């Protein structure tokens, strides 16, 4: 017996129950998807596949384009996760999305939980890398894997004059007052154009950890982490110019914190582009490099071609922004 359903954000208990027994990241949670809808206003669901002892889930959001609907995973690394391999899953998924009338789908994948039986190899696109730390290692082992420069920066960490700020309300106030300008200065992509309601909702959650540097009266930098029992994520870091020197100490605090509560993995993320300065910053913490993949799936080829034709883009090109018929819209919003 095969059962495929979409659990809406209006059913948080059912959503959370569907995740039980499945290793997943914060981006899979109801809390993250609810917060992201406050920015996008997309209809958002947790797709759930069940048969016998197998359950596979994936958050999806519906987007309209000329009265047609395509799907995308909400912000963060999520994608298909489940409690068992299931090689026949791609066939059932295809039947489901066609029945729903979706044109195509962009599905991000979390390489920590990625399962190759859930998709076809020719749909897989690699676009970046992330670095992850194995927090089951001892603190001494983690320190030994740091680059020489990082070790020097943290040698006196226990005695550092940097004052860590853990007052969450003060940190939230700093973040809300500074994140828009900070991301603009960094020329962040439109993916970071969060509504204040999204930030407020996220930062107030119990599974969001914030740490700052400076003083409560004059915070200079804040780092934000999210987590589930299975993995933590280094989500954001914003700072004033004088606060940039604190980034290593703030991240090291997060490493120690999640180790202390037995979260086994910390995803440091990657760079904006592979091997850029941000990626280098994270690589120097000694993490394992994992390939970041996504799925670019076309469910109705004729309709996909027609939509691409209406905006004058090549439907055969899947190397750039996907779906291609939204690429011009994306370029306009990025300006």
Residue 4 structure tokens: 């495929």
Q: What is the C-alpha separation between 112 and 120, in angstroms, rounded?
A: 18
Residue 130 structure tokens: 């992330």
Fold for domain 130-290?
Answer: Aminopeptidase (3.40.630)
Q: What is the DSSP letter of 28?
A: G
- Tens of pLDDT, residue by residue over 170-194, are 999 999 999 988 888 877 677 788 9
Q: What is the C-alpha separation between 277 and 271, in angstroms, rounded?
A: 7
Q: How far is CA 64 from CA 41, 61, 68, 69, 325, in A?
A: 11, 10, 5, 5, 12
- Tens of pLDDT, residue by residue over 12-32, are 999 999 999 999 999 999 999
Say whether the peptide bond before residue 323 is cis (omega within 30 degrees of 0).
Answer: yes
> Do the beta carbons of residue 3 and residue 51 sit within 8 Å?
yes
Lowest mean pLDDT among 112-126, 221-235, 266-280: 266-280
pLDDT for residue 334: 44
**Domain(s) of CATH 3.40.630.30: residues in the chain:** 130-290
What value does the mean pLDDT of the chain take? 91
CATH architecture of 3-129+291-334: 3-Layer(aba) Sandwich (3.40)
């Amino acid at each position: 017996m095969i059962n495929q359903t979409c659990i809406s954000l209006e059913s948080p208990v059912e959503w959370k129950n569907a995740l039980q027994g499945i290793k997943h990241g914060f981006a899979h949670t109801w809390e993250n998807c609810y917060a992201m809808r406050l920015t996008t206003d997309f209809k958002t669901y947790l797709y759930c596949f069940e048969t016998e002892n197998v359950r596979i889930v994936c958050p999806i959001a519906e987007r309209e384009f000329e009265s047609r609907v395509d799907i995308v995973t909400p912000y963060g690394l999520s994608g298909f996760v489940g409690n068992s391999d299931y090689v026949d899953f791609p066939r059932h998924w295809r039947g489901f999305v066609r029945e729903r009338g979706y044109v195509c789908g962009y599905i991000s994948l979390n390489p920590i939980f990625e399962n190759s039986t859930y998709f076809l190899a020719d749909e897989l696109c690699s676009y970046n890398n992330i670095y992850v730390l194995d927090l089951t290692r001892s603190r001494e082992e983690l320190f030994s894997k740091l680059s020489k420069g990082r070790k020097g920066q943290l040698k006196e960490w226990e005695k550092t004059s940097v004052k860590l700020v853990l007052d969450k309300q003060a940190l939230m106030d700093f973040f809300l007052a500074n994140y828009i300008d900070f991301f603009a200065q960094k020329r962040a992509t439109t993916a970071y154009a969060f509504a204040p309601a999204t930030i407020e909702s996220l930062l107030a959650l119990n599974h969001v950890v914030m740490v700052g540097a400076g003083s409560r009266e004059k915070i200079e930098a804040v780092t934000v982490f999210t987590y589930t029992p299975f993995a933590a994520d280094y989500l954001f870091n914003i700072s004033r110019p004088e606060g940039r020197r604190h980034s290593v100490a703030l991240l090291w605090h997060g490493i120690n914190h999640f180790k202390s509560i037995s979260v086994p993995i910390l995803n440091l993320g990657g760079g904006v582009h592979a091997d850029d300065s941000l990626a280098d910053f994270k690589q120097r913490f000694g993490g394992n490099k994992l390939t970041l993949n996504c799925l670019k799936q076309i469910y109705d080829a004729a309709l996909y071609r027609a939509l691409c034709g209406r905006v004058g883009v090549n439907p055969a090109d899947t190397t750039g922004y996907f779906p291609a018929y939204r690429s011009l819209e994306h370029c306009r919003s990025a300006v």
